[in-house]
Amino acid sequence: MSRDIRYQIAIDREPDPFLTEEAAEIEVQQSIESATSFRVRFAIDLCNGDLTLVDDERLQPNDPDTEVTIVAIVDGETFCLVHGVITERRVNLTEGGPGSWLEIEGQDRRILMDRVDRRELHQGKASEVVERIVRRDPYGFVPDVTRTEIQFSEEKHALNQAMTDLAFVNQLAGKNGFRFWVSCEATLSPLGQLRITETAHFKPSPSRGQDNDPLAALPTLLSPAEAPELKVNNGDGCSNLTTFQLKANAERPNQTDRIRRVNADDGKVDNTQVNEPTTEPLGEVAPPAQKRTRRLVTAGDAQEARLVNQAALNDAAWSVEAQAETTVHAVGGVIAPHQVVKVAGAGKLTSGDYFVKSVRHSIDPATHKMNIDLLRNALGG
């Protein structure tokens, strides 16, 4: 099937056809666990003495930051792969010319949150604190924050920040069983500039049913809306996966021990036992039922202890890991972390829904490959 697949590189939100044409390699690494990173390599023609790219001040870390946006357009639908800043620049000049290149690397704008160490005392709910932080200048992210329940104050367990904003928000996400990430959307204005919307998400991912804020968005599915299945060994010529590998770990913890804690306020003994993960299963066959127990000892009251242990148990539940390789042409869209995709043709236990952990996009003039890491907390379709 013929597809219209195009790419656009923009510098400081201005599309640059020259840089787009000169890009020899583009790599974008997206993950639920870290900032999105990118690498763009440009070939240099030394034989003609052309050092335009080497001398281009935009293609190096600057103050203020140089913003780089990489967009993929598939059959008219725009996917913002990354909107970030340049953090590193490399030049390789080879005698005679062939093999010379300039390469820039960078990360999404979360990196701005990791530049200043702060000492602050916060009050209110963790979700309220995070919403205030992500709106700060120079971040200016649009918040997508799921409500938390514990109220912090100076009198009782105030939230003490002694780290960067990024480290602090990541810490709060871990304690609440949430994830923190920034996504981008790009549209072209009538004047030819890219309009970029960056949304900072602080929420469970994937959706957890009863633990979710009732106003929270539903889980993201593979675009377009009617998501194609990732098919392997289909036998009809319609497979769209090059490779698929899977492993399952049966020794992950599936509950926490009973913990007897004395509440500092009233002296009562609290039970902080957690019996099972609260993440919805992506499959019909549960992991092995044999008891595998662990527990985390934390400061704070019993409510906080239960919250932290539940979050750790939910993370441990992702005991099935898979790796897949495909192309944008084969799938007809771009796959991104935090999406839920369906695998077919891999057997009764292995086929079914998977949570996308990370995607490495490798783009050159010939193809756009996607190496995908997938997670499950159950087996079967």
With beta carbons less than 8 A apart as the criterion, state whether 360 and 328 touch. Answer: no
How far CA 234 is from CA of 141, 241, 284, 330, 381, in Å, comes to 43, 10, 22, 13, 16
CB 231 within 8 Å of CB 238: yes
Question: Which is it for the CA torsion 344, 347, 353, 357, positive or negative?
Answer: negative
Which pLDDT score, from 0 to 100, does residue 280 have? 79
Collect all residues with Cβ–Cβ distance below 8 Å to 17 and sequence separation of at least 6.
Answer: none
Q: How far apart are CA 63 and CA 121, in angstroms?
A: 30
Q: What is the pLDDT of residue 377?
A: 87
Q: Report, as ranges of residue numbers, the positions in the chain whose pLDDT lies below 50.
A: 210-227, 258, 260
Which backbone phi and psi does 165 adopt, to 5 degrees? -60, -40
Strand partners of residue 325: 243, 371
Can you list the alpha helix ranges (DSSP code H) found in 15-82? 17-22, 52-55
pLDDT at 264: 55
Element (DSSP H or E) covering residue 313: helix 302-316
3-state secondary structure of 30: strand
The predicted-structure confidence for 27-54, as pLDDT tens digits, reads as follows 999 999 899 999 999 988 776 667 889 8
